[in-house]
Amino acid sequence: MTGLVTKILKFSLVDGPGNRTVIFLQGCNMVCLNCHNPHTINRCRHCGECVSLCPNKALALHGGEGEGAKGSGQEVIHLANRCRDCDLCVASCPHNSTPKARLMDVSEVLAIIKQTSPFIAGITVSGGECTTQAEFVRELFTQVKAETNLNTFIDSNGNTDPKAWDRLMPVTDGVMLDCKAWDPDTHRLLTGSDIQAIKTSIIHLVSLDKLYEVRHLVIPGFTDDETHLRSMVAFLAATNPQIRLVLQRFRNHGVRGPLAGHPSPSQELMLRFAQVAREARLREIRIR
């Protein structure tokens, strides 16, 4: 069982409870204007545009009409031993991808996890959208459960079929779910997808007692409408008032396109939104 892995971060304190190792998988089923990791959205098209830009000659073009020539059947090869992680290839990619993602089997990922297992509480699989590679995640979590004492979390956009959740939940300890917007039109504008799948995921994960938290992204001019917030927190409170809500500030780091350089919300707005959530009688509200 192999998965397309973008990056493995050995230590993180912001991707779930405690210190964690985070596995980022390549590919997403949304195209968010606010994405902080836009290079994880698509798989590499092997167009070769990035090869000549690499200052360390860590990229090579093979195949096509001839070795090193652009054409059909070509493949961009990442030479990890030469790479200095300057990410110029990522910044220059016209297709929201990266040539550095690589296929890894479960045993390879597990070996990396075990290097840090005495110092972490668990692992989190993120993306992109990791549930687009649900069977790989399921097999990885199965092996983690069999061979370590670590807990297993998923960081998801929620755009996932309930059947996929059902396959994953026996080996998953918790899900952190991002809600990009609550208003259907705004959600489609920001993500290119419908909000209903996210609502369905929230209800389904609550029914399985696997929803660790919902994160709502506050973007000035897009998701700062108090009416929409009141609708969302009423839905969450009716589903389960124990749901932990994280109000996440928009930050433009890494963002491309129309929201590059867009401002973050004020502290006053974040505190007001937290008060609205408390008025809905949600038990736990955090601001990040």
C-alpha 85/C-alpha 238 separation (Å) is 46
Please give the model's pTM, rounded to 2 decimal places: 0.92
C-alpha 129/C-alpha 133 separation (Å) is 8
C-alpha 50/C-alpha 31 separation (Å) is 21
Q: What is the pLDDT of residues 44-62, one digit of tens each?
A: 999 999 999 999 999 998 8
All structural domains of the chain: 2-40+101-287 (3.20.20.70), 51-92 (no CATH)
Phi, psi dihedral angles at 251 (to 5 degrees): -130, 140
C-alpha 4/C-alpha 31 separation (Å) is 18
Cβ proximity of 187 and 176 under 8 Å: no
Rg (CA), the chain: 20
* Structural tokens at position 19: 């210190």
C-alpha 91/C-alpha 17 separation (Å) is 31
C-alpha 23/C-alpha 154 separation (Å) is 10
C-alpha 263/C-alpha 108 separation (Å) is 40
* Structural tokens at position 255: 């963002």
Q: What is the pLDDT of residues 229-245, one digit of tens each?
A: 999 999 999 999 999 99
Q: Which of 3-7, 81-85, 252-256 has the highest mean pLDDT?
A: 3-7
Q: How confident is the model at residue 91 (pLDDT cuts 50, 70, 90)?
A: confident
Q: How far from chain centre, in Å, is Cα 121?
A: 20
The residue-averaged pLDDT of 93-105 equals 93
Q: What is the pLDDT of residues 196-206, one digit of tens each?
A: 999 999 999 99
* Structural tokens at position 169: 């939940």
The residue-averaged pLDDT of 133-160 equals 98
Q: How confident is the model at residue 63 (pLDDT cuts 50, 70, 90)?
A: confident
